[in-house]
Amino acid sequence: MRWSRYFLYTSKEDPADAEAPSHRLLLKAGFIKQVSAGIYEILPAGWRVLKKIENTVREEMDKSGAQELLLTVLNPAELWKETGRWDTYGSELFRLKDRNEREYCLGPTHEEEITDLVRKYVHSYRQLPLILYQIQVKFRDEKRPRFGLIRGREFLMKDAYSFDRDEESAKMSYESMKYTYERIFKKLNLETVTAQASVGQIGGSYSHEFIAFTEYGEARVGFCKECGYAANAEIIPLKQILHSAEKEKPIKKVPTPGVKTIEELSNFLGIPPEKIMKAVLYITNENKPLLVLIRGDREVDENKLEAVLGTDEFRLAQDDEVRHILKTEKGFIGIFNLPPHVEVLWDNSLYGVKNLVVALNEPDYHYINVNPGRDFTYGDFVDIAEVKAGDPCPQCSKPLEVKKGLEVGHIFLLGTRYSEPMRAYFTDSDGKEKAFVMGCYGIGISRIMAALVDQHHDEKGIKWPLSVAPFELEILCLNMSDEAIRKTAEALYKEALEKNIEVLFDDREETAGFKFADADLIGIPYRIVVGKKVKEGRVEIQERNTGNKQDIPISNAISYVLKLIGKEK
RNA sequence: CGGGGUGUAGCUCAGGUGGUAGAGCGUCGGCUUUGGGAGCCGAAGGUCGCAGGUUCAAGUCCUGCCACCCCGACCA
Q: How far is the CA of A11 from the C1' of B62 (A)?
A: 39
- Mean pLDDT within A416-437: 96
Q: What is the percentage of chain A residues whose pLDDT exceeds 90?
A: 73
User: Which residue has better confidence, A556 or A281?
Assistant: A556
Q: How far is the CA of A337 from the C1' of B53 (A)?
A: 56
pLDDT tens for residues A440-458?
Answer: 999 999 999 999 999 999 9
The partner residues of A437 in beta bridges, in order of sequence, read A164
Residue A164: closest CA among A126, A133, A129: A129
Strands of the sheet containing A343-347, edge to edge, are A314-316, A277-284, A289-295, A343-347, A380-382
Name the nucleotide nearest A158; use CA and C1': B76
CA angle, corner A525, sides to A565 and A520, nearest 5?
165
Name the nucleotide nearest A232; use CA and C1': B75
Name the nucleotide nearest A533; use CA and C1': B35
Residue A22: what pLDDT?
Answer: 94
How far is CA A489 from each of CA A169, A313, A530, A531, rounded to the nearest angstrom?
58, 65, 6, 9
Residue A201: what pLDDT?
Answer: 57
CA-to-CA distance for A301 and A280, rounded, in angstroms?
Answer: 12
Name the nucleotide nearest A407; use CA and C1': B76
Name the nucleotide nearest A549; use CA and C1': B35
Fold match, A252-382 / A471-564: no
Whether A410 has a pLDDT exceeding 60, the answer reads: yes
Whether A319 has a pLDDT exceeding 80, the answer reads: no
Tell which CATH classification among 3.40.50.800, 3.20.20.70, 3.40.50.300, 3.40.50.720 matches the domain A471-564.
3.40.50.800
pLDDT tens for residues A367-380?
Answer: 999 998 899 999 88
CA-to-CA distance for A523 and A28, rounded, in angstroms?
Answer: 12
**pLDDT band per the 50, 70, 90 thresholds, residue A232:** very high
Q: How far is the CA of A129 from the C1' of B53 (A)?
A: 69
Say which range, A2-6, A77-81, A286-290, A453-457, has the weakest mean pLDDT.
A286-290
CA-to-CA distance for A558 and A539, rounded, in angstroms?
Answer: 11
Residue A57: what pLDDT?
Answer: 98
pLDDT tens for residues A517-554?
Answer: 999 999 999 999 999 999 999 999 999 999 999 999 99
- Residue A326 CB contacts under 8 Å (≥ 6 apart), including other chains: A281, A333, A338, A339, A342, A361
pLDDT tens for residues A250-300?
Answer: 999 999 888 878 888 888 999 998 899 998 888 887 778 888 999 988 888
Q: A13-190+422-453 architecture in CATH?
A: 2-Layer Sandwich (3.30)
CA-to-CA distance for A489 and A483, rounded, in angstroms?
Answer: 10
Q: How far is the CA of A52 from the C1' of B72 (A)?
A: 36
Residue A88: what pLDDT?
Answer: 85
Residue A258: what pLDDT?
Answer: 81
**pLDDT band per the 50, 70, 90 thresholds, residue A568:** low
Whether A244 has a pLDDT exceeding 70, the answer reads: no
**pLDDT band per the 50, 70, 90 thresholds, residue A3:** very high
Interface confidence (ipTM) of the complex:
0.94
Residue A545: closest CA among A414, A455, A477, A485: A455
Q: How far is the CA of A16 from the C1' of B47 (A)?
A: 24
A370, A355 Cβ separation under 8 angstroms: yes
Q: How far is the CA of A235 from the C1' of B72 (A)?
A: 20
Residue A259: what pLDDT?
Answer: 82
C-beta atoms surrounding A310 within 10 Å? 7
Where along chain A do its domains lie? 13-190+422-453, 252-382, 471-564
C1' of nucleotide B71: residue with nearest CA: A144
A418, A111 Cβ separation under 8 angstroms: yes
Name the nucleotide nearest A13; use CA and C1': B12
Whether A497 has a pLDDT exceeding 90, the answer reads: yes
Whether A352 has a pLDDT exceeding 60, the answer reads: yes
Residue A320: what pLDDT?
Answer: 76
Q: How far is the CA of A410 from the C1' of B58 (A)?
A: 55
How far is CA A107 from each of CA A112, A115, A244, A498, rounded to the nearest angstrom?
10, 14, 56, 43
CA-to-CA distance for A88 and A200, rounded, in angstroms?
Answer: 13
CA-to-CA distance for A12 and A524, rounded, in angstroms?
Answer: 18
Whether A9 has a pLDDT exceeding 90, the answer reads: yes
The partner residues of A213 in beta bridges, in order of sequence, read A405
Q: List the nucleotides on chain B closer than 7 A to a protein CB.
A: 1-2, 11-13, 24-26, 33-38, 67-76
Q: What is the percentage of chain A residues whose pLDDT exceeds 70?
A: 98
pLDDT tens for residues A86-142?
Answer: 988 888 899 999 999 999 999 999 999 999 999 999 999 999 999 999 999 999 999
C-beta atoms surrounding A123 within 10 Å? 13
How far is CA A553 from each of CA A154, A477, A538, A569, rounded to the nearest angstrom?
48, 16, 4, 21
Q: Looking at the domain that runs over A252-382, which CATH code has it been given?
A: 3.90.960.10
Say which range, A158-162, A282-286, A481-485, has the weakest mean pLDDT.
A282-286
